Chains A and B, each alone.
Chain A
Amino acid sequence: MIAHRVQRDLARAISAVENGHTDVRGALAQFAALGHAQRNGARADVIGITGPPGAGKSTLVDRLIEGFRANGETVAVIAVDPSSPFTHGAVLGDRVRMQRHAGDRGVFIRSMASRTAGGGLAPATRDAVRLADAAGFDVVIVETVGVGQVELEIVAVADVIVVVTVPALGDSVQTIKAGLTEIADMFVVNMADRPGANATALDLKHMVREGAREIPVLQTVAQDGTGLPALLDALAAKRGAGDSNAVRAVRFEVVRRARDAAVRAALAALDSDDASAVLDGLRDHTISRNDAVDALLAILGGPAHAH
């Protein structure tokens, strides 16, 4: 059980980070100062659930909550939905499927708008996960919308990644192939009550066999709980063997930071006098766009970057 007061302060800490009033360290420190931080470091098991809109992810999360609670584990859910690229508003409706847990103090559910154009993870998602961990939850589930090649960010957040799909005709499995096999720890064909589930699962199994890692393919009916025991077993197995996932998460974290650093360096280089000269040339039409890009890359990192 996680006390009401801890839940409230966790919720406020997440907002503070989400709104940029503090960074995650500040939030964790404040949290500890309130006497709430139960522990340090990543000890919660973090499960990422991703897949297309309407695949039944939230309904599945509801079932997972049920399963973990039956096992005596506390559960925090971070459910991310896309922000409108036009108004930046969002309708966050994932809770609707999980409302039977609304009165359970062992469950914390937080909706987040992605607040970025690309959808997928909200920038503050990983911080929210760390805060939920600090609050003492045993399991943190992150639900995100992912279509085709899921942004690899979720890899840095989750120890286990479940890709949810539905029975479909034709090229659905091809869509999945574009990047998801790199990050999926298991596939779930939800809505297995619909025609075509076996065929979709078989396609996925063939696809998975080509890879080096062992990736289970399961079928569920989230609405009535069919297939949930097998999914919980598969998750338990992956959770037990989490070490390689930690390695994977660290790899992606390094890539992420390196990418951020590269972007900062590029922005700084664009502010230099040399760069201004090139951009002036562009304004005066004395240099083509392609040549300007090459010239600016050369300024950034030497000739190796030009191509």
Chain B
Amino acid sequence: MPIKVLVAKPGLDGHDRGAKIVARALRDAGMEVVYTGLHQTPEMIVNAAIQEDVDVVGVSILSGAHMTVFPKIMDLLHEREVDDIVVVAGGVIQENDVPKLRALGVREVFNAEASTQDLIEGIERIVAAHGRDAARRAAQA
């Protein structure tokens, strides 16, 4: 049962090179990666996460808009009763915002220095510990 991940790029960042590199790295680690393109609103991200029934939503932000985007995403996930989808953040995020994001329920924050290997290992670890199918995955392993 492969881990299914939505790689989302909200906001007005102009390019998606980084997101595509991440998507391919996760694929090469055996994950199924849904990519949705640029300029996603929180509503679009959450709708996609629900329809795709992903284990993880990885949101990459370079524009500094994380403190407006993440609360909306987390609220919507709660409202739609899919709180069991793991959310992780990546991109350029100030150190002092990390605890705030965690308080919102964001499971991990990968800063710009994180390697794709860090991402892969981080996602695998979080899904094993907190993912929706954690028990089933443990039984299969």
Contact = CB atoms under 8 A, between A and B. Distances in A.
Contact of A113 (B32, B82, B136): B32
A8 B26 CA distance: 24
B36 A99 contact: yes
Interface in B1-45: 1-2, 4, 23-24, 26-37, 40-41, 43-44
Contact of A103 (B24, B43, B50): B43
Interface string B42-54: 0110011011110
Contact of A95 (B2, B24, B36): B36
Interface in A10-30: 11-12, 14-15, 19, 21
B28 A87 contact: yes
Question: Which has the most chain B C-beta neighbours within 10 Å: A89, A92, A109?
Answer: A89
A92 B32 contact: yes
User: Chain A at the B interface: mostly helix, strand, loop or mixed?
Assistant: mixed
A247 interface: no
B81 interface: yes
Contacts, number: 88
B48 A84 contact: no
B50 A8 contact: yes
A7 B35 contact: no
A19 B1 contact: yes
Contacts of B82: 8
B81 A103 contact: no
Given A84-B27, A95-B37, A89 B50 contact: no
Interface residues of B, number: 31
Nearest to A104: B47
A109 B44 CA distance: 12
B35 A89 contact: no
Given A12-B53, A91-B23, A103-B44, A96 B29 contact: no
Contacts of B28: 84, 87, 89
A108 interface: yes
A11 B34 CA distance: 14
B51 A7 contact: yes
A149 interface: no
A25 to B, nearest CB: 20
A12 B33 CA distance: 17
Interface of B: 1-2, 4, 23-24, 26-37, 40-41, 43-44, 47-48, 50-53, 80-82, 136
Given A83-B32, A92-B33, A102-B47, 16 more contacts: A8-B50, A11-B51, A21-B136, A87-B29, A89-B27, A89-B33, A92-B32, A92-B34, A93-B23, A93-B35, A95-B48, A95-B52, A103-B43, A109-B51, A111-B34, A113-B2
Interface of A: 4-5, 7-8, 11-12, 14-15, 19, 21, 83-84, 87-93, 95-96, 99, 102-103, 108-111, 113
7 nearest A-B pairs in the assembled complex, by CB-CB distance? A89-B27, A96-B37, A11-B53, A102-B44, A15-B53, A89-B30, A87-B30
